[in-house]
């Protein structure tokens, strides 16, 4: 007997295939709102209105006054892969519209009752199409205003299992409002309205970018937002980010766009987070609206069916540019007018430590994987300087009175005594023996004395390594130390760099060294602990892609800097301030910690409800 086998592989009916495909595009009512809004934006409107009933279950309606559709366009609008945006695959490389695959309307029509009414600009009569479950039920000419109206009712009426998975109305509305906000922020030049159950929920008239921030977040927030304007290579970054004073408990108010399309990219979100960390030291999350601009061939939006994710041709370049944009914006905002050297007319003092300039030290080849960055003023970077100098610093200045020692006698202290410039300079106090406090025209500035001194010593150590060796001070009694074989190898490798930094160290045994001299100007109470601490931090921090010189200089700066809780006299405080604001980066210590924080007068007034 012959057994006739039934084929297990069949071709699904188009209606079934359409409903399955719709699940990837139409995940929830908010996804319908997103697709319809994008179609409206592509029609170049001046106004878009969104109407929601029962959180989108009963009705989702999007109306625009754009270019509209002709009779032939509307007839093919809900056919799968029907699109006016591209004609061939290569067109994706130059895409400037939101829609392009021709899947949104067919997917929505497959799981709802759909009505499209449209009248093209210049036409006297419009047309209306009605469909249910993906099948056209009616098509006829009608009277209609210019533009397009798309109504989606009874969503998932033919997929009851999917309808059961919809969340509570409050949750679905939250997602819809989030989508609505995304596009209102991306297109402030369009007037937007959102109705919920016949009640006007949002009404945003056409405005500029900051005006739209005020509409969405409120006037107070919009006024405080920091503007971003940065370009590097192929990527331009614009937008706004909130200062630390507006830190949020959640990330719900974070919006990112590429060519005004809402996107998600994990690495770019991490770039923003990383750039904000030094400023958001008390925790919380920033509010931001970041608008990226790039040529269409530099990114791919066609990664996910719902176009949620984006891939960049140069992911690392995108990360660095976004990180740099946020850093630049915060730095500009953190520096009030009186913190700029230009406003004070002060020249940068020389950092030379000796009138006799010696030749640079040649480090071993395995310790020089990086080309040193030149230590001149960077393009566009003005040294910040909050306080007029008591006196100018010169190579021959007597440093013996101003050196910041690790300890000094009680008679030398003038703790919590303010510094006042004889002419017009502000007063400086030491607070908690840890912070320096002074008044600015726009508020107050607090400086962390330890991290400030770290920055000064770090840059001085780098100069010593790269071009101007630090002058050494001989020890009356050399200090011996015994180390592990691992640390012996590290110290031996670093001897040329240590020598350039002013340390005279030489091996005297298989695991032993002797310290003969240390850098001048640094009060070191225990030379052995100092060197071992430097090597310990160097060993723990060094990686295969880090510059040994920078790591060693940072370790030295951390160990040699004045400590928190250490009283300083008036001359020492002024000296520290002068030297800090002559460094190339007075905002952060070598480890990334913020050095100073400005509290604006406006913020202080808010504390007292003025």
**CA dist 565 → 452, 530, 555 (Å):** 14, 19, 20
List the single range of 109-113, 396-400, 520-524 with lowest mean pLDDT: 396-400
Which tops the pLDDT comparison, 458 or 540? 458
> Higher-confidence residue: 82 or 45?
45
pLDDT of 421 > 80? The answer is no
The string of pLDDT tens digits covering residues 306-326 is: 556 788 888 889 999 999 999
Task: Please check the confidence at residue 125 and state whether its pLDDT lies above 60.
Answer: yes
- Least trusted range by pLDDT, from 59-73, 87-101, 167-181, 224-238: 87-101
Of 57-71, 263-277, 378-392, which gets the smallest average pLDDT? Answer: 378-392
Is pLDDT above 50 for 270? yes
- pLDDT of the residue at 416: 42
Bridge partners of 588, per DSSP, are: 594
pLDDT given for residue 1 in this prediction:
52
What is the average per-residue pLDDT within 182-210?
94
Q: What pLDDT is stored for residue 119 in this prediction?
A: 94
* Averaged pLDDT for residues 272-276: 88
Q: CATH 3.30.565.10: does it fit domain 14-204? A: yes
Q: In whole angstroms, what is the distance from residue 568 CA to residue 565 CA?
A: 9
Q: Which of 179-193, 356-370, 546-560 has the highest mean pLDDT?
A: 179-193
As a whole number, mean pLDDT of residues 576-596 equals 85
CB 358 within 8 A of CB 468: yes
Residue 56: per-residue pLDDT: 92
Q: Bridge partners of 29?
A: none
What is the overall mean pLDDT for the chain? 78
Of 106 and 20, the one with more pLDDT:
106
Closest by CA position to 490, among listed 443, 432, 538: 538
β-sheet bridge partners, residue 479: 515
- Looking at residues 252-258, what average pLDDT do you find? 92
pLDDT-based confidence at residue 158 (cuts at 50, 70, 90):
confident
Instruction: Output phi, psi for 443, to 5 deg.
Output: 160, -145
Per-residue pLDDT at 396: 44
Give the pLDDT of residue 517.
93
Weakest mean pLDDT among 289-303, 343-357, 517-531, 589-603:
343-357
Mean pLDDT of 533-548: 80
User: Residue 345 corresponds to which tokens in the numbers above?
Assistant: 């007319």
pLDDT value, residue 409: 33
Residue 11 has what pLDDT?
Answer: 58
How much is the pLDDT for 411?
Answer: 34
CATH no. of 210-334: 3.30.230.10
Q: Is 60 exceeded by the pLDDT of residue 374?
A: no
d(CA 435, CA 448): 5
- What is the reported pLDDT for 352? 34
Q: Among 79-88, 211-220, 566-575, which is the least confidently predicted range?
A: 79-88
Q: Confirm if 452 and 398 have CB atoms less than 8 A apart.
A: no
Q: What is the mean pLDDT of residues 426-443?
A: 86
pLDDT of residue 547: 81
At residue 389, the pLDDT reads 37
**Residue 358 reports pLDDT greater than 80:** no
- DSSP assignment string, 386-415: -S--SS---TT---TTT---S---GGG--T
| Cα 6–chain centre separation | 59
Q: At what angle do helices 209-217 and 169-186 cross, to 10 degrees?
A: 160
Cβ atoms of 349 and 394 within 8 Å: the answer is yes
What is the average pLDDT across 421-449? 80
Residue with more model confidence, 467 or 286: 286
Q: Which of 184-188, 424-428, 570-574, 589-593 has the highest mean pLDDT?
A: 184-188
Please determine, for residue 130, whether its predicted confidence score (pLDDT) is greater than 50: yes
The CATH 3.30.565.10 portion of the chain extends over 14-204
Q: Inform me whether the pLDDT recorded for 460 exceeds 60.
A: yes
Across 213-222, average pLDDT: 92
Q: Structure tokens of 331? A: 């730095």
Q: How confident is the model at residue 282 (pLDDT cuts 50, 70, 90)?
A: low
Strand order in the sheet with 199-204: 135-142, 126-132, 113-119, 147-153, 59-64, 47-53, 191-196, 199-204
| Average pLDDT score over residue span 173-199 | 94
Q: What is the dihedral of CA 419, 399, 556, 585, to 10 degrees?
A: 50
Task: Report whether pLDDT(155) > 70.
Answer: yes
- Is residue 412 over pLDDT 50? no
- Average pLDDT value for residue range 345-364: 34
pLDDT given for residue 402 in this prediction = 41
Q: How confident is the model at residue 296 (pLDDT cuts 50, 70, 90)?
A: confident
pLDDT of 386 reads 37
- Separation between Cα atoms, residue 166 and residue 163, nearest integer Å: 6
184 contacts: CB under 8 Å, gap ≥ 6: 190, 192, 202, 204, 212, 215, 216
Average pLDDT of span 528-536: 90
- Which CATH number describes the domain made up of 381-600? 3.30.1540.20
Question: Where do we find the tokens 């997103």?
Answer: 34
Q: Could you tell me if residue 341 is left (phi over 0), alpha (psi between -120 and 50 degrees) or otherwise beta?
A: alpha
Rounded Cα distance, 351 and 346, in Å:
15
Domain with CATH 3.30.1540.20 in the chain: 381-600
* 126 has pLDDT over 90: yes
CATH 3.30.230.10 boundaries in the chain: 210-334
């Amino acid at each position: 007997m012959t057994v006739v086998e039934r084929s297990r592989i069949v071709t699904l009916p188009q209606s079934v295939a359409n409903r399955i495909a719709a699940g990837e595009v139409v995940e929830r009512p908010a996804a319908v709102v997103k697709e319809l809004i994008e179609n409206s934006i592509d029609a170049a409107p001046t106004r878009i209105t969104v109407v929601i009933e029962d959180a989108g279950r009963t009705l989702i309606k999007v109306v625009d006054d754009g270019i509209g559709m002709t009779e032939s366009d509307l007839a093919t609008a809900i056919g799968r892969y029907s699109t006016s945006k591209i004609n061939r695959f290569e067109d994706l490389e130059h895409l400037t519209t939101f829609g392009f695959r021709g899947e949104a309307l067919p997917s929505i029509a497959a799981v709802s009752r759909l009505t499209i009414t449209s009248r093209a600009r210049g036409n006297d009569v419009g047309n209306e199409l009605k469909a249910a479950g993906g099948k056209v039920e009616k098509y006829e000419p009608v009277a209609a205003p210019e533009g397009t109206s798309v109504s989606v009712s009874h969503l998932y009426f033919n997929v009851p299992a999917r309808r059961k998975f919809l969340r509570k109305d409050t949750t679905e509305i939250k997602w819809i409002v989030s989508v609505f906000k995304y596009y209102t922020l991306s297109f402030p030049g369009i007037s937007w309205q959102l109705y919920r159950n016949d009640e006007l929920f949002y009404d945003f008239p056409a405005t500029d970018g900051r005006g739209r921030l005020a509409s969405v977040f409120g006037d107070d927030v919009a006024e405080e937002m920091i503007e971003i304007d940065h370009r590097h290579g192929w990527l331009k970054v614009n937008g706004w980010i909130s200062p630390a004073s507006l830190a949020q408990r959640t990330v719900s108010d974070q919006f990112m766009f590429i060519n005004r399309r809402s996107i998600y990219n994990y690495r770019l979100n991490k770039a923003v987070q990383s750039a904000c960390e030094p400023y958001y030291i008390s925790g919380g999350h920033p509010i931001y609206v970041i608008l990226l601009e790039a040529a269409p061939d530099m990114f791919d939006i066609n990664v996910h069916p719902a176009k949620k994710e984006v891939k960049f041709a140069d992911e690392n370049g995108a990360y660095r540019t976004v990180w740099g944009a946020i850093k630049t914006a915060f730095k500009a905002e953190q520096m009030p007018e009186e913190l700029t050297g230009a406003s004070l007319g002060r020249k940068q003092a020389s950092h030379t430590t000796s009138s006799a300039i010696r030749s640079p030290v040649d480090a071993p080849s395995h310790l020089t994987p990086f080309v040193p960055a030149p230590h001149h003023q960077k393009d566009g970077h003005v040294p910040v300087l909050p306080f007029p100098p008591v006196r100018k610093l010169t190579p021959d200045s007597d440093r013996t009175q101003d050196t910041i020692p690790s300890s000094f006698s009680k008679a030398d202290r003038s703790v919590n005594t303010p510094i006042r410039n004889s002419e017009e300079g502000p007063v400086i106090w030491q607070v908690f023996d840890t912070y320096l406090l002074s008044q600015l025209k726009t508020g107050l500035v607090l400086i962390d004395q330890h991290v400030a001194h770290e920055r000064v010593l770090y840059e001085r150590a780098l100069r010593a390594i790269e071009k101007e060796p630090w002058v050494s001070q001989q020890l009356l009694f050399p200090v011996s130390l015994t180390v592990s074989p691992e640390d012996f190898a590290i110290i031996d490798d670093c001897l040329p760099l240590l020598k350039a930094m002013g340390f005279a160290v030489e091996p005297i045994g298989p695991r032993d060294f002797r310290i003969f001299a240390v850098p001048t100007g640094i009060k070191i109470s225990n030379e052995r602990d100092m060197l071992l601490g430097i090597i310990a931090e160097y060993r723990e921090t060094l990686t295969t892609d880090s510059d040994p010189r920078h790591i060693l200089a940072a370790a030295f700066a951390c160990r040699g800097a004045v400590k928190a809780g250490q009283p300083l006299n008036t001359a020492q405080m002024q000296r520290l301030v002068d030297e800090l604001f002559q460094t190339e980066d007075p905002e952060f210590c070598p480890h990334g910690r913020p050095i100073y924080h400005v509290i604006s007068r406006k913020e202080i007034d808010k504390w007292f409800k003025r």
